[in-house]
Chain A
Amino acid sequence: MASKTININLKIWRQKNANAKGSMETYKLDNVSTDSSFLEMLDQLNEQLVNERKEPIAFDHDCREGICGMCSLYINGEAHGPDRAVTTCQLHMRKFKDGETIYVEPWRAKAFPVIKDLVVDRSSFDRIQQAGGFVSVNTSGNTIDANAIPIGKADADKAFEAATCIGCGACVASCKNASAMLFVSAKVSQMALLPQGKVEAKQRVLNMVKQMDEEGFGNCTNTGACAVECPKEISLENIARMNREYLKAMVTAE
């Protein structure tokens, strides 16, 4: 890997806590390796800030390999930055130019209030899952054999693709209405495509959509920005499937 370094300027959202007023602050960072990830660049900036006795920038992150869904960041006006099909932790500095000014903001949505700097509260996503994102089966181990119900590969693969959603919230951050339809529809689709999930399909979609609305997420107006920015490339088909499931549940609910 050819090592190259660049110097960059950063405009980063700073906000002391949920109640404080925030603002964009300017930083300069030199000698950033182009092999560094975006978060490693922020580590480097934080190291510099701490050495200057200044408070480092708070940001969410954990696995740093694109799967936990904890990292966020709205970079130069795009969720997870300019690269496609990546999370911020997989975005590398080779995507930026020497001397470039990079804007970094938190996810912006009513249902994702800022906790500090770039950290937001996404517990609304958890509450949507708690409303119905499961199969009601106890963990006794006394279920039927795993191969008792064959599942066609096409459905199994589609369910898997929907299930790869990491719950990062990029779809919400990218949507002009701050809609969570892509996130919710991914879980609804996964379950609706599998025989194990079909039993509760109607109640599930009604409950999850109800919770989604209560959390203050906006509606879907078919712009499709969510799917473009989704690091796991969750398809818009899922939203269509959820709409069908929802309609079906509405007209046939007991």
Chain B
Amino acid sequence: MASLGELERAVMDLLWAGREAATANTLRDLLAQSTVAQGGAAGHVGKDLAVTTVLTVLSRLEKKGLVERERGMRPHRYQAVSSREDHTAELMHEVLGSAPDREAVLARFIGSVTESEAETLRKLLGHS
């Protein structure tokens, strides 16, 4: 049985790939298919997967603010809050940005450098 983390990842991959909102049932079927297609190589994501498990995963993702539910309609349909690219951009903004406490949150190999300093380093690189 796949861990919840792996399932969250697989579900997000499906939601990011698909254009439309999907129900938990659709997602379960897609997960089962992807396991068959890959010959189970990518883990046992879709094997013996219950719809309730998919719903658990979806509610966890919803709590994390990654997935939203279309209300009023049953069964509920789920979609990604923003695209994979937007989330990557959000992460990189946190890494590259100049938030005051960023330095305490994560340690970058190189902090932000000014344009003139980068120029000096490029010259250095040209001569080495």
* Mutual binders A and B: no
Q: Which residues of A contact B (CB under 8 A)?
A: none
Q: Which residues of B contact A (CB under 8 A)?
A: none
